[in-house]
Structure 1
Amino acid sequence: MGFSLSSFFEMKALPLSAITFFVSIGFASLLSFISPYTASKGLETGGKFFFIMYAIFTLISRPLTGKLFDRKGDNIVMVPSFVLFAAGLCLLGFSDSNIAVLASGALIGMGFGTFMSCSQAIVIKLSPADSIGKANSTFFIFMDLGVGLGPLLLGKVIPLLQFSGMYELLAVVMLMCLVSYHFLHGRYVSAHQKNQLALQQHLNN
């Protein structure tokens, strides 16, 4: 049997998994650099409690976004997740107080936390029933690559832009991921939902 990409990756999962790679680089920046960044600005308290704030708002938001995801479809939660993550990174880059650092943790918890759970659900939904395991594997391979390679790649950026500039750049990257999401998945979901609504209205008439 010859080698093929589809032997190792679920092809329908690749577009969103590729986006997940770049989103995970954004999260890797927090895992690796939040402590030295906040210490460099004298905001150690904010850095110490950043991930607690992140966890609280992830825990609060996921049940709500899960219900919206089930009832209203993918875009209603995915689009805000990119925006919130970008806003959190941008706020973090401009932070000059512990309150701002904690607020960025809250925004990122709602943004990245929502993205991870809902994007995985979309990947599973798009994949054939007999390829769910391979779809999950594809998704987590790209996520792990982003988390693993992120610090290495960002380490080349920090000397040029400093920590603040790195987070501001990553905020732009998250917005670019939103644009990519729209063209690779979101617009097709919107078209499908419009067709479903038109069909329902036709049946009601």
Structure 2
Amino acid sequence: MPVTFDLFGTLVDAARPADPAAAVARELRERGVSVPDDWADAYAEPHVDAPEGAEVPLHAHVARALDSRGVSAPDNAARRAVTAAFEPDVTAGEGARAAVERARERGPVGLLSNCSVPELARRSLLSADLRWLNDDRDPLFDVVVTSLSCGWRKPDRRAFEAVARQLDCEVRELTHVGDSDADAGIEAAGGRFVDVRERPLEALFR
């Protein structure tokens, strides 16, 4: 039975910047970028015309926001600033590792996370000690798919189809474990949703 897990709010508890725009601005200045005076407004405005359900990489949004104010971000500064602003501050949820390990006993296991920040999902797994199965560095997850890597955000069915392809199964075979209406989108794609708000990780796959 192939199983996928959501990350933030399901497997890990994450502390996010209280003011993302300000956090990104601080990191941009650290990289020599002149942040416009109305940066909070620029950050809040849409700058990328994306199809419904598509993910917009946060660093692309930041670069376009700067460009809209006549500011350039050379040397990949927007990507580096975003990555630094969202340095993971996470802890594993109660029973998270055990739930994944029990799921592995039943079949392949993947991670499917809405995440627009480069490498944040993988760094969060590492920080929460959920990256590796053992000291031999066997991955705890067979595949890790983010909205950034596949291009689509849950609840769009294309996000679930992307992880199903990597797990070499049909999307209707998936059981997806999550904590939000976005995760519940698996049901419209034909799969099964397990809501950790109703059934905690400690009780799963026993």
Higher relative contact order (CA 8 A, sep 6+): 1
- TM-score over 0.5 for the alignment? no
Q: Which is helix-richer, 1 or 2?
A: 1
* TM-score relative to the length of structure 1: 0.30
* TM-score relative to the length of structure 2: 0.30
Q: Which is strand-richer, 1 or 2?
A: 2
